[in-house]
Amino acid sequence: MTEIRLSAIEKTYGAQRVLTGVDLAVPDGAVVALLGPSGCGKTTLLRLIAGFERADAGTIVLGGRTVEAPGSFVPPERRRIGYVPQEGALFPHLTVAGNIGFGLRGRDGRAERVAEMLALVGLAGHAGKFPHQLSGGQQQRVALARALAPRPDVILLDEPFNALDLGLRRHMSEEVVGLLHRHGTTSLLVTHDPAEAFATADIVAVMSGGDIIQCAPPVEVYTHPASAEVATLTGAAIFLDATARGGHAETALGAVALSGSRQPEGTRLRLMLRPEQLRLAATGAGREAAVTGSRFKGDHWLVTVTIGGLALDIRAQDPPDGTVAFVTVAGSGTAFPAAGTAAPHAAA
């Protein structure tokens, strides 16, 4: 059993407090994505778990073994952790087989283990090649095989697909995480891409300002964000001024069902919707809106409409037909406190 448990982890560089008391529990065999913007502390947290740096405060437990606590520290080479950095960082002077077997030198069965890892990542015919002879995706698979070869208890991946093209990045992340699931390895993946986190992780831990602000399965994080900040960090979001009425939210788009607990009657809210919840039609039910523009986005059109003083960008499969359309809302919205919020804003 290899759980990861972090308690009250703090880290400061000079005057900058990077981690402010992080708590995190990663179940055995799970893949957890650390999602957040640059500078929020994701990579620092990974380096502390690996033992590359020491925490200023807090406790790190791996598989029931305390590897860092006040007055105690287990060095990285004794933590049984595999680390995959950005861009793989392969040794250019070693072959694929040499890179994978680097951490196995002096061990019995080294050649057999290298062959097993090559087969696992689909590179059995590339053992004698050097890194410069491989594609970016192949290099990342070699880096993963090298990390898995010593049979670590934990794999840490620090935005390993960041340098790849978008299509290849999505494909590689799903392929690599599939390997980790089949291997049953407890894993922590750092990413700033919500789509990558949702597609690959069992649990998404959203970070901001040096702390984890929500940690839950991907669907819960996306559909029920814990705050407006989580909503914007995990995808496009639309915020509307609203008032609680009869178990619904009264908005410029009409009455919208509320998720979660019932709000007191008359409470002012800031209602969050995801763009795919807004539907646009030339005729029918819904609020009448003026079409003011449209942009082709490849797999959809982004149609700008106005209702009163509210401007919205709505995704549609076809360009608008005419200058008037009708807007409806599917599903429920998530309510946040209205105090201190800005004017209605739409982001698609």
How confident is residue 347, by pLDDT bands cut at 50, 70 and 90?
Answer: very low
pLDDT score at 100: 94
Whether the domain at 4-233 and the domain at 238-346 fall into the same CATH topology = no
* Residue-wise pLDDT tens digits, 127-181: 999 999 998 878 888 988 898 888 888 999 998 877 677 777 777 777 778 878 8
Q: Environment class of residue 15 by beta-carbon count within 10 Å: exposed (0-12), middle (13-18) or buried (19+)?
A: exposed
Three-state SS at 277: helix
Q: Environment class of residue 55 by beta-carbon count within 10 Å: exposed (0-12), middle (13-18) or buried (19+)?
A: buried
Least confident of 93-102, 115-124, 155-164, 317-326: 155-164
Of 140-149, 214-223, 299-308, which has the strongest mean pLDDT?
214-223
Alpha carbon distance 220, 224 (integer Å) = 5
Per-residue b or e along 268-306, where b marks 16 or more CB atoms closer than 10 Å to that residue's CB: ebbbbbbbebbbbeeeeebbebebeebeeeeebbebbbe
Alpha carbon distance 173, 171 (integer Å) = 6
Q: Is the dihedral of CA 124, 125, 127, 131 positive or negative?
A: negative
Domain 238-346 has CATH 2.60.40.10: no
Per-residue b or e along 317-334, where b marks 16 or more CB atoms closer than 10 Å to that residue's CB: eeebeeeebbbebeebbb
> Count of alpha carbons within 13 Å of 318, Cβ hemisphere only?
7
Residue 47 has pLDDT above 90, yes or no: yes
pLDDT score at 239: 94
CATH class name, domain 4-233:
alpha beta
pLDDT score at 139: 87
Helix (H) or strand (E) holding 181: helix 166-183
Q: 322: phi > 0 → left, psi -120 to 50 → alpha, else beta; which?
A: left
Residues in the chain: 348
Q: 295 CB contacts (<8 Å, ≥6 apart)?
A: 301, 302
* Residue-wise pLDDT tens digits, 227-236: 999 999 999 9
Of the chain, the percentage scoring pLDDT greater than 90 comes to: 66
Q: 41 CB contacts (<8 Å, ≥6 apart)?
A: 11, 18, 19, 22, 207, 209, 210, 211
Average pLDDT of the chain is 89
Residue 282 has pLDDT above 60, yes or no: yes
Domain range summary for the chain, segments of one domain joined by +: 4-233, 238-346
Three-state SS at 206: strand
Alpha carbon distance 83, 50 (integer Å) = 7
Could you tell me the two tokens for 52?
Answer: 């590359």
Sheet strand arrangement including 65-69: 16-26, 4-13, 57-62, 65-69, 72-73
Residue type, 269: L
pLDDT score at 273: 96
How confident is residue 343, by pLDDT bands cut at 50, 70 and 90?
Answer: very low
* Residue-wise pLDDT tens digits, 7-23: 999 999 999 999 999 99
pLDDT score at 107: 81
Q: What is the DSSP string of 221-247?
A: HHHS-SSHHHHHHTS--EEEEEEEETT
